[in-house]
A and B are shown apart, each in its own frame.
Chain A
C-alpha cells in the first residue's frame, strides 16, 4: 500500500527545486551529514566501545596463554582453538547446544503455534490463560532454575506429583542421570520460554485480517484448511523471527544450566557458555576462555548471517518494497 502511495505521487514533484540545485543541495547535504553525525555518534561510540572493541580484544587475548594477571607474554597462536576443538568436553558441549536448538524448534514451535491459536479464540478466561502462559517468561532465569532445582530433587515435588497421580513408574533421577539431565533441562527451558513464543505469535495473529478468514470460510474452507493455508502463511514472518531468537538463545544457553547442574553430572549437560565459564573463569585461563568466547561468537554470527540471507530476506525485503 505504501508503494502504491509513493508511485502515485507525480514524478515531477522534486523538479521545482532542481534549478537552484547548486547551492541548496550542497548545503542540505552538509546539513544531512551533520545531522547524521550528531545522531549517530553517541550510538556509534557506545557500539564501538562495548561491542566492537571487546570482540577485538577477546580475539587478541585468545592467542595467548594468559591467567589474567600480568602482561600478555606467552603467545601460543591458535593453540587455544585447537585445544578447545580437540577436547571431548567442548565437543560434547557444542552437541548439547545443537540438541537444545533442534528440540526448541521441533517441539516448542508447534506447541507455541497451537497455544497461540487456542488463546486467540474467544473463550472464557482468555486473559487469565494468556497471563498464566506468559508468567514463567517474566521470572528471572535464576529464580526459575532454583525453583526447578528444588522441585526436581529425588522425592521432591515433581516425584510426589507423579506418584500421587499413579505415574510413580515414570519417576527418574531427573538431574542426576547423565542420559536424562539434558532433556530435563529442555523441559524447564520450554516451560520458561513457551510464553514468549505464544505472545509473539498472538501479536502476529492480530495482523491476520479477519476478512481473509471469512472469505476462506465463504469459499467452503474448513477450519483446518483456513488455518493451514491462510493463517499460517501470514504468520510466516513472526515464525521466522521466533526461530531466529530461539536458536540464538539455545546456542547461548547458560544461566539455567549453570544453576541447576553446573553442566554436570560429568559434563552431561554442559553447554558452550558453561564450558566457557568453567574453563575460562574458574580455572583462571582467560586466554583459553577468550578463544571459547570467540568460537561461540563466530557460531552465532555465522548462523545469524546465513539465517538473515536465506530465511529472513523475504521479510526484510517485504518491509522495504511494500506488501505485494
Chain B
C-alpha cells in the first residue's frame, strides 16, 4: 500500500518528461538552426578540419550553426539506433550506407534528400550509389575507400621480387619467395574479423560477374555457384599459409605486433587493407621514412570465373540527415562535396575524394594510384557486411572469420547469409 505513492509519482514524472520531449519542429524550418553533428573523426588532423569546415560554413550561412560531437566508430553501432528511436536524433551523422542505412530507414527519421541534393550530386556519379535505397538518396559520401595490397618495396626487393604481383599465380610465387627469404609474406588482423572478409570479398568479385554481385546484394542471397567457387579459391590460397603465426589472434591496428605494425616494422611484406593504412602504419613505427618504403597494388586477377578483373572492393564515409533540419543539413552536405572542401580532404590522405576535382588534388602517390584504379573499375563492390542488412553482414563476417580459424567451409559461408536473412541466429 505504501509503495503505491512513489510508483504513482514516478509514473507522473515519466509522463511529464515524455510530454516535454515530444515537441519537435517540422522540416520546413527557415529560421536559424543549430545542427547536431555526429562524425567519426576523433583524432587529429581531421577533428579540427571538420570544426574548421563547420565554422567556415557558418560564416557564409549565418543561419546555420553546429554542435559537433565526435564519436568512435564502435559507438555509432549503439548510439544511432537509440537516437533514431528517441525524439532528438542528431541532425546529421556518420553513415556508411548500404544495408545499415536501409535498416535505419525503418525509424522514419532519415531524410530523403533526393530533391535537395539534385543540384550537387552529379559529380559524385556512382560514388553516391551506396547511400541510395530504392532509387532515393538518403545521404551522401564525402570520402571513398578502397581495399588493396599495401607492400614494402624494400622487403620485396630483398626477396628478389621485381614487380608487384598482377595475377594470383604471381602472388603465390611472391609468397613463396618471401618465405624463402625468411619474412612473413602477408600480415592479417584476424582477431578483428573484418580484415578476413576482405579476402573472401575479393575472391567473390573475381569469380562472379558484376550482374551477379548486384543481384546477390539486392536479394540478400549468395545462391550463385560462383560464391561457392570463391570460397574454394580462398581455401586453396589459405592452404599456402601466407600469413603470420597465430594470425587469428592478431589485432589489425593495435601495437607493433598488429598486422599494420608488422608491415610498418618490416616484419611482414604486405597487407590487404583499406586506403587508410599508411596513417595507421606510421603511428606504429619509429621509422620516419616509412612513407617512401611502401607501395600499393590492386588485388591480383584470378584465373577462371566471370569476374571483371577491374572490380574493386571498398566503401565510403558519408553522412545522413534526419528530418528535423533536412534542408540546412542537405545544403551542408552539398558544401562537403564542393571543390573547396574536397581539396582540403584530398590533402589529408584520409580517403579518396568523391569528385573528380578532389581526386585531381591528391598528392600521395599510392592514393593517386588507388584513385586511378578506382576510376577504371567497372564496379566498386561495397563491403558485403555493409551492403547486406546488418544482421546478415555480421553473420557473413563471423562465418568467414571462423573459416579462417579452421571452422566450416566455403558452403558454411554461403549458408550463413541465407540463414541470417531467414532470421536464424
Give chain B interface residues in 401-425, CB to chain A under 8 Å. Answer: 401-402, 405-407, 420, 423-425
Give chain A interface residues in 241-269, CB to chain B under 8 Å. Answer: 261-262, 264-268
Which residue in A40, A262, A286, A288 is a CB contact (below 8 Å) of B425?
Answer: A288
Which residue in A41, A264, A266, A279 is a CB contact (below 8 Å) of B9?
Answer: A41
User: Are B255 and A70 in contact (CB-based, < 8 A)?
Assistant: no
CB distance from B135 to the nearest CB of A (A): 21
Which residue in B7, B77, B245, B248 is a CB contact (below 8 Å) of A281?
Answer: B77
CB distance from A205 to the nearest CB of B (A): 40
Q: Chain A 221-251 against B: per-residue CB contact (8 Å), 1 yes, 0 no?
A: 0000000000000000000000000000000
Measured in the bound complex, the distance between the Cα atoms of B308 and A115 in whole Å is: 66
Measured in the bound complex, the distance between the Cα atoms of B396 and A282 in whole Å is: 12
Give the chain B neighbours of A135 by CB distance below 8 A: none
User: Are A83 and B425 in contact (CB-based, < 8 A)?
Assistant: yes
Give the chain A neighbours of B107 by CB distance below 8 A: 69-70
Give chain B interface residues in 372-398, CB to chain A under 8 Å. Answer: 389-391, 394-395, 398
CB distance from A47 to the nearest CB of B (A): 10
Measured in the bound complex, the distance between the Cα atoms of B103 and A218 in whole Å is: 76
CB distance from A27 to the nearest CB of B (A): 18
Any chain A CB within 8 A of the CB of B182? no
User: Are B249 and A173 in contact (CB-based, < 8 A)?
Assistant: yes
CB-CB under 8 A for A261 and B246, given A67-B391, A153-B255 = no
Measured in the bound complex, the distance between the Cα atoms of B244 and A279 in whole Å is: 29
Any chain B CB within 8 A of the CB of A154? yes
Measured in the bound complex, the distance between the Cα atoms of B403 and A265 in whole Å is: 10
User: Are B9 and A176 in contact (CB-based, < 8 A)?
Assistant: no
CB distance from B44 to the nearest CB of A (A): 21
Any chain B CB within 8 A of the CB of A175? yes
User: Are A265 and B391 in contact (CB-based, < 8 A)?
Assistant: no
User: Are B391 and A285 in contact (CB-based, < 8 A)?
Assistant: yes
> Which of A178, A181, A283 neighbours the largest number of chain B CB atoms within 10 Å of its CB?
A283
User: Are A67 and B249 in contact (CB-based, < 8 A)?
Assistant: no
Give the chain B neighbours of A278 by CB distance below 8 A: 394, 398
How many residues of B are in contact with the other chain, CB < 8 A?
53
CB-CB under 8 A for A265 and B249, given A70-B108, A150-B255 = yes
List the A residue with the shortest CB-CB distance to B3: A44
Any chain B CB within 8 A of the CB of A318? no
CB-CB under 8 A for A33 and B6, given A173-B246, A279-B425, A283-B391 = no
Give the chain A neighbours of B423 by CB distance below 8 A: 65
List the B residue with the shortest CB-CB distance to A36: B2
Measured in the bound complex, the distance between the Cα atoms of B407 and A178 in whole Å is: 11
CB distance from A78 to the nearest CB of B (A): 13
User: Are B246 and A175 in contact (CB-based, < 8 A)?
Assistant: yes
CB distance from A312 to the nearest CB of B (A): 26
List the B residue with the shortest CB-CB distance to A153: B257
User: Are A265 and B81 in contact (CB-based, < 8 A)?
Assistant: no
CB distance from B250 to the nearest CB of A (A): 7
User: Are A284 and B10 in contact (CB-based, < 8 A)?
Assistant: no
Give the chain B neighbours of A48 by CB distance below 8 A: 6-7, 10
Task: List 9 additional contacts besides A33-B2, A284-B100, A284-B103; criterion CB under 8 Å.
Answer: A37-B6, A68-B82, A68-B85, A69-B104, A146-B255, A150-B257, A173-B245, A282-B394, A286-B81
Tell me the A residues contacting B by CB distance below 8 Å.
33, 37, 40-41, 44-45, 48-49, 65, 67-70, 80, 83-84, 87, 146, 149-150, 152-156, 173-178, 181, 261-262, 264-268, 278-279, 281-286, 288
* Interface CB pairs A-B, < 8 A, 24: A37-B2, A44-B6, A45-B9, A48-B7, A48-B10, A68-B81, A68-B82, A69-B103, A154-B257, A173-B245, A174-B246, A175-B191, A261-B191, A261-B249, A264-B190, A264-B401, A265-B191, A265-B248, A266-B407, A267-B402, A268-B405, A282-B390, A284-B103, A285-B391
Tell me the B residues contacting A by CB distance below 8 Å.
2-3, 5-7, 9-10, 13, 77-78, 81-82, 84-85, 100, 103-108, 190-193, 244-251, 254-258, 389-391, 394-395, 398, 401-402, 405-407, 420, 423-425
